[in-house]
Amino acid sequence: MFLVIGESLQEIEVLATEAIDVVEDWMREKKLTLPHNKTEIVLISNRKARIPAGECFINSKWEVRQLGVMIDDWLSFSSHIDYACGRAVKVISALLCILPNNAAISNSKKRLLVSVFTSVLRYAGLAWVMAMRTKRNTFQLNSLKFDVHAGV
């Protein structure tokens, strides 16, 4: 992952192309290849870019996932909120499928489920700090309810 900063879209395209070339040269020396179809870029603005890389072009996206953190084009981290909330619900649902299906869930199981739920949501704390600056993200997190008895 690298960061390119420029005054204009043209400058960003030139600097990004140069950075990709440097990475490709290094990889060639190590007898490795860079898969351009898996390379992603996000432009922090309301514009889109198209960066030449090898024989193809890499089109910028509105959001990318890097190490489990969704980074969007305005750094609002709204995509990360959506991703993390959905992931937490899926993890709890998977845990409930493997736990014994008793009518009453014991306190230790409740603590386990709540602990896992909060751990998934707490991942990438800095993104959460940035995301909570918008009302939409705060509302979404506050509306996410965890009910052990109902599953989620």
SS3 percent helix, strand, coil of the chain, rounded to 5, is: 50, 10, 40
Full-prediction pTM beyond 0.75? no
Model pLDDT for residues 63-103, shown as the tens digit of each residue? 888 888 888 888 888 888 889 888 888 988 888 888 776 65
- For residue 29, what are its two tokens? 């020396």
As beta bridge partners, residue 25 has none
Q: What is the pLDDT along the chain (152 residues), one digit of tens a residue?
A: 777 888 888 888 888 889 888 988 999 999 998 787 778 888 887 778 888 877 788 888 888 888 888 888 888 888 888 898 888 889 888 888 887 766 566 778 888 888 888 888 888 887 888 888 888 888 888 877 655 445 54
Sign of CA dihedral 119, 134, 61, 71: negative
In 3D space, the residue among 111, 71, 25 whose CA is nearest the CA of residue 17 turns out to be 25
